[in-house]
Amino acid sequence: MLGEDDYGLEWQAIHNWLGRLAAHSPFTYRHSLGVASLALNLARIYGMDQGECQAIYAGALLHDVGKITITNALLMKKGPLTREEWLVIKNHPRAGVELLTASGISPGILEFVAYHHERWDGGGYNGLKGPDIPLGARIIALADAFEAMTSQRPYQQIRTLPNALAEVENNAGTQFDPGLVPVFFTMIHKLMKTASSLPLIRP
């Protein structure tokens, strides 16, 4: 269990890594902030306690930090990826865990970074399936996919909100935890009532 001093040092390390990510890839940095906002709100509405919410928020902020090891040319490539390029991209969760481990990031947060590309049906990067995937990683995976769908990318056309929500619904039980999807819809509707866009909400 982290003491108060350790907790402060861990968040300092998190902010340091975010600074490095922003310098390397501003696009990935902005994406990470958006994912963290969605993941935090989803965790709160799901009923997780403050400590769990903060860990998920931290994991979401750091989920793509391994992309620091990937060139911007590859991160922003518009055309199809070669097999070699895909393997480099696929390695970013593992690369992130290796970088963060050396910084003293707690195992619970590392777990979320490691498994944020798992799928409920077992078709993800590491083949974890269903409840074997840590809940925080399932939350981040859903937030990650939704933020990606609703953000402009050089290699992917932005989706409208109704289209993105339909995609989430259609993939409940395959890509996404079917128990999280209704909670995610509740969260989106609540956010739409309070703001014209999805705000960045910090713990």
**Catalytic annotation, residues:** 67
CA atoms of 177 and 189, how far apart (whole Å): 19
CA atoms of 170 and 147, how far apart (whole Å): 16
